[in-house]
Amino acid sequence: MEHLIRPNHDSTAVIDVTPESAGWEYLSFKVVALMAGQTHSVQTGSTEVALLPLVGKGIFTVSGKRFEVARGGVFAGKPHILYVPPGEEVTVEAVNDFEFAAGGAPAEGKYPVRLFAPDEMKVDVRGDGASRRQVNHVLAHPLPAERLILYEVYVPSGAWSGWPPHCHDRYQNSPYLEETYYFRLDPEYSFAIHRNYRIDTDFDEVFPVRHGDLVLVTQGFHSTAPAPNCNMYFLCYLAGELLDEARATPPFDDPNFAWIKNDWEANPMQLPVAAN
């Protein structure tokens, strides 16, 4: 499967990734776009699933409970997230035009249905200078799940996220996690660059990312940056070998760039460069 996936606007599921289609073991991800009054069913099967509204108003119904969620858009604030264990069916009804993401991973059913509220979600600002960004821990430790980890990240125009680049593919004993990056840009006609690479093999892929695109992180270090005058949002779903509290285990930073954490403003070029 291609690791850069463009949205299919002729389908209700504009993005749809399964472990089989991605060629990995754990993670599934989809983005669903409904018009007002339409419904969609999500079967959890043997997986835990987290449903996250992107824009609009909808109603999630599971086990006889109704959860109304609304969001002005991904740049308008943190979401509510519905967590659903295995063996359930979620009916999604669009009150108005409604888009949501849903991702899942194998689970045993340790945790019940739960609607996570925005005020439960940790927010931090990482980096500085040209790598300053905001990370919202929308379903990350200590919020409970078996395998799923979710982040929403906001990157100002021209800045870098995932810096220093990091990996979670067992390199240098890093944890194994599969990851999807779902992008939205402001303005929508903008673009960003995403890179996945290794330093022990010749694996290296660079993608021009547009509004609504998805990138699969199958291996290697990775980072991403929007063009100048373009603000970037991306939603990350991760799942793999880490369970429960171990989901807090950090990735491994590229040793060529890890030093920047000690001096975010290091090594700047001063302009103008002398012509003589």
Q: What is the CATH number of the domain that holds 72?
A: 2.60.120.10
pLDDT of residue 268: 87
What's the domain count of the chain? 1
On whether residue 270 sits in a domain, the answer given is: no
Q: Output the CA angle 89-110-59, nearest 5 degrees.
A: 30
On whether residue 16 sits in a domain, the answer given is: yes
Taking the model in full, what pTM does it have?
Answer: 0.97
On whether residue 42 sits in a domain, the answer given is: yes
CA–CA distance, 233 with 74 (Å, rounded to integer): 7
- Do 143 and 50 form a contact (C-beta atoms < 8 A)? no
On whether residue 268 sits in a domain, the answer given is: no
Phi/psi of residue 75, each to 5°?
Answer: -90, 5
pLDDT of residue 274: 76
Q: Which domain holds residue 86?
A: 4-259
On whether residue 203 sits in a domain, the answer given is: yes
pLDDT of residue 275: 66
pLDDT of residue 94: 98
pLDDT of residue 199: 97
On whether residue 265 sits in a domain, the answer given is: no
On whether residue 73 sits in a domain, the answer given is: yes
Predicted confidence pLDDT, tens digits, the chain (276 residues): 699 999 999 999 999 999 999 999 999 999 999 999 999 999 999 999 999 999 999 999 999 999 999 999 999 999 999 999 999 999 999 999 999 999 999 999 999 999 999 999 999 999 999 999 999 999 999 999 999 999 999 999 999 999 999 999 999 999 999 999 999 999 999 999 999 999 999 999 999 999 999 999 999 999 999 999 999 999 999 999 999 999 999 999 999 999 999 999 888 888 889 766
CA–CA distance, 14 with 34 (Å, rounded to integer): 10
On whether residue 273 sits in a domain, the answer given is: no
